[in-house]
């Protein structure tokens, strides 16, 4: 039976401000990408999320991004690759500490927002992230954007990598994510998102806006947790995968 992981970016509130329904999402997904305090999140939210994930048997990972609370980590920032390497190492360490405090451990790393987009296309930046992961804990899995430079960097750097596709994002004809704000960037219909995920997993390919297939390994599917329809999209995606005979299972142990 084919299997695939279902992940979501969560713990993205800050202080008194909430973002998304994390508790509901943890009932659906098999892996949770926990914000590390730079683009969102804080020690209270991180500890709470790690504890809830442990209770529900959900694998957890660090979700590092640019230090940009105002822009939610979705704005490019002019850091050198050396600075990015240390920013990522810092955030992995924070996630490890708060996970240990909650009685669990992080199993993987996934870059957020503008940092993830940069690593999708810029090999040198992807390698900076890889060096950070390898330096802090080389046993951590690198959750990478399918068909991007992170995939190739993980392979050449000796890191375990798992490629992910996005349920709620559109793809260009080159197989890259369409930038937010551009036509076709967001998939807002939960049923439409679910159907295209099943099609991509079955095909072993990214399906672009015009229907082109870009072959890729697919180990995980992401549903972003900050949109109004996030929980319903995740529920529809999981249901559609299981109805298609595809088991939904974490790629790493909880």
92 in Cβ contact with 46 (< 8 Å): no
Q: Quick check: is 124 in a domain?
A: yes
Both tokens of 152, joined, read 């190739």
State how far the Cα of 22 lies from the Cα of 13, in Å rounded to an integer. 10
**Helix (H/G/I), strand (E/B), else coil: 79:** coil
pLDDT digits (tens, 9 = 90+) for 8-50: 999 999 999 999 999 999 999 999 999 999 999 999 999 999 9
CATH code of the domain in which 38 resides = 3.20.20.370
Model pLDDT for residues 60-77, shown as the tens digit of each residue: 999 999 999 999 999 999
What whole-number distance in Å separates Cα of residue 129 and Cα of residue 120? Answer: 11
17: which DSSP letter? Answer: B
If you search the block for the tokens 């940092």, which residue do you land on? 115
Residue 254 included in any domain:
no
pLDDT tens by residue, 115-164:
999 999 999 999 999 999 999 999 999 999 999 999 999 999 999 999 99
Kindly provide the residue ranges of all beta strands, DSSP E only, lying in the chain, ordered along the sequence. 3-10, 31-35, 59-63, 108-109, 141-145, 161-166, 205-207, 213-215, 220-222, 247-248
Residues 231/233/237/239 CA torsion (nearest 10 deg): 60
- Looking at the chain, the whole-number percentage of residues with pLDDT higher than 70 is 100
Place 242 in a pLDDT band, splitting at 50, 70 and 90: very high
Let me know how many helices (H) and strands (E) the chain has, helices first.
Answer: 8, 10
Number of structural domains in the chain = 1
Q: Does 253 fall in a domain?
A: no
Task: Read off the pLDDT band of 247 (50, 70, 90).
Answer: very high
Question: What b/e sequence results for 46-83 when a residue is b if at least 16 CB atoms lie within 10 Å of its CB, and e otherwise?
Answer: bbbbbbbbbeeebbbbbbbbbebbeebbbeebebeeee
**Partners of 32 in the beta sheet?**
8, 60
Beta bridge partners of 186: 169
Q: The pTM is what?
A: 0.97
Q: Residue 38: what pLDDT?
A: 98
What residues contact residue 22 under an 8 Å CB cut-off, 6+ apart? 10, 11, 49, 52, 225
**Range of 72's domain?**
3-248
Sign of CA dihedral 64, 70, 74, 79: negative
Which residues, in sequence order, are CB contacts of 76 under 8 Å at separation 6+? 66, 114, 118
């Amino acid at each position: 039976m084919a299997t695939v992981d279902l992940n979501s970016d969560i713990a993205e509130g800050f202080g008194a401000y909430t973002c998304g329904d994390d508790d509901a999402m943890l009932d659906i997904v098999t892996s949770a990408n926990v914000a590390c305090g730079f683009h969102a999140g804080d020690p209270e939210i991180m500890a709470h999320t790690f504890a809830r994930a442990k209770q529900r048997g959900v694998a957890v990972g660090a979700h590092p991004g640019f230090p940009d609370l105002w822009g939610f980590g979705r704005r490019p920032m002019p850091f050198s690759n050396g600075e990015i390497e240390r920013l990522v190492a810092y955030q992995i360490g924070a996630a490890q500490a708060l996970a240990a405090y909650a009685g669990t451990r992080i199993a993987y790393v996934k870059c957020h927002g503008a940092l993830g987009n940069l690593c999708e296309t810029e090999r040198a930046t992807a390698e900076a992230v890889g060096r950070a992961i390898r330096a802090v804990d080389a046993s951590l899995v690198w959750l990478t954007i399918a068909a991007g430079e992170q995939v190739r960097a993980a392979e050449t750097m000796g890191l375990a990598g798992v490629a992910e596709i996005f349920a709620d994002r559109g793809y260009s004809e080159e197989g890259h994510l369409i930038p937010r704000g551009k036509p076709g960037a967001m998939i807002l219909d939960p049923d439409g998102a679910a159907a295209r995920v099943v099609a991509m997993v079955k095909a072993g390919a990214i399906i672009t806006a015009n229907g082109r297939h870009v072959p890729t390994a697919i180990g995980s599917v992401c549903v972003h947790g900050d949109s109004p329809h996030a929980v319903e999209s995740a529920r529809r995606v999981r249901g559609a995968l299981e109805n298609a005979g595809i088991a939904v299972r974490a790629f790493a142990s909880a």
